[in-house]
Amino acid sequence: MVTQYGGLNKMSNSGLNMSRRIRRTPYTEKVIEAGVSGFTVVNHMLLPKSYKATVEEDYWHLSKNTQIWDVSCQRQVQIIGEDATELIQLMSPRSIKDMPIGKCYYYPMIDENAGMINDPVLLKLSENKYWLSVADSDVLLWAKGLAVGRNFKVDILEPDIFPLAIQGPKSEKLMSSIFGEKIKKLKFFHFSFFEFEGTKQIIARSGYSKQDGFEIYLKGFNLGKKLWETIWEAGKDFNISPGCPNLIDRIEGGLLSYGNEFTLENNPIECGFDNYCNNLSHDFIGKIALKKILKNGIEKKIKGITFDGSPTPSCTIPFPVYSKNRFQIGNITSGIYSPFLKTNIGLSMVDRDYWNDGQDVIVLTPDNIERKGKVCSLPFNYS
């Protein structure tokens, strides 16, 4: 693994205590130059969390133009070898029997109790080679443990791959201006190889937003600066801006965050991943537990909530959600004001008796205001 740490003196006001435990990315210096105003840490790596624009300004720009995101924290767990397919299948209730090379799958991973370990994107590079593009949990160690326990013939490692996302409605025009017309043929959740500086790089039509976009799985730390600069220069014709996953866009699109909307304590049915649990004919960890859950039903599930009043304070701690008789029925774990929907919106696990669309609820925000709300389906309705 390439280890590019450095002093990060320019980020002394970030609030992070920089050390070898927190890894820089190939784009960190360009991110600083672009005016990053804060970082968080995901998978032991820096993730820009804000620039000079407000979340709302960034939201409107993303919905109309194109942005460049450093998402190198989206680490890859590479599984390759004779038993790679068997191991991949063992970790998820989603069948990969007919998965073609060049396809991406949303891939819920569960433990022996059907608890969610992660919800990565799975890329199939060849018949015996896969990448798990993981959220913020240690999938590498889980996969290694299973491989050792089952005596699988596989090699598992975190390769030097550093994703860079290009998101927004103008992203296709920008990317085709650099990588050619071929990129327009990429379907959503498919990937292919494209040339950059004499190398072959994987580009997928995907991203952590509800906008159109692409993710470049850059191989080679040393190419990071050149890739950023190439995209930035070409992007000037498309009003490019530095960005990062936008909270308004994410919540509107019903995109969940591991560790926030759900954890190991939740099962995939509660998380709304029913469609990935339809074919349970294969062997996988947690199969008995998941079948029991499907038989007995669940007591809560993820829902959207709209709630009134002035723009809500930041959701740094969950907002309690109550029924009209003041019985707590959930917690909003991500919430914000939507300028498009002109209301506050949030994501919450909601108890069974209250999860029907249109259910009246009360949301208590950190300013100690009780706000009237309603339960709704995800993603939020734009009609």
Would you place residue 53 in the very low, low, confident or very high pLDDT band (cuts 50, 70, 90)? confident
pLDDT given at position 18: 67
pLDDT given at position 5: 39
pLDDT given at position 14: 56
pLDDT at 17 over 90: no
Q: In angstroms, rounded to a whole number, what is the distance separating the alpha carbons of residues 187 and 292? A: 36
pTM of the model: 0.94
pLDDT given at position 118: 98
For 318-373, write each residue's pLDDT tens digit. Answer: 999 999 999 999 999 999 999 999 999 999 999 999 999 999 999 999 999 999 99
φ, ψ for residue 331, nearest 5 deg? -145, 125
Q: In angstroms, rounded to a whole number, what is the distance separating the alpha carbons of residues 61 and 248? A: 12
Return the SS3 of 168: coil
pLDDT given at position 307: 98
pLDDT given at position 1: 38
Contacts for 10 with CB less than 8 Å, ≥ 6 apart:
32
305 close to 374: Cβ distance less than 8 angstroms: yes
For 74-132, write each residue's pLDDT tens digit. Answer: 999 999 999 999 999 999 999 999 999 999 999 999 999 999 999 999 999 999 999 99
Would you place residue 52 in the very low, low, confident or very high pLDDT band (cuts 50, 70, 90)? confident
Q: What is the mean pLDDT of residues 176-204?
A: 98
Structural domains of the chain ordered from first start = 9-71+167-245 (3.30.1360.120), 76-157 (3.30.70.1400), 252-376 (3.30.1360.120)
For 207-244, write each residue's pLDDT tens digit. Answer: 999 999 999 999 999 999 999 999 999 999 999 999 99
- Residue 314 CB coordination number (10 Å): 11
For 282-326, write each residue's pLDDT tens digit. Answer: 999 999 999 999 999 999 999 999 999 999 999 999 999 999 999
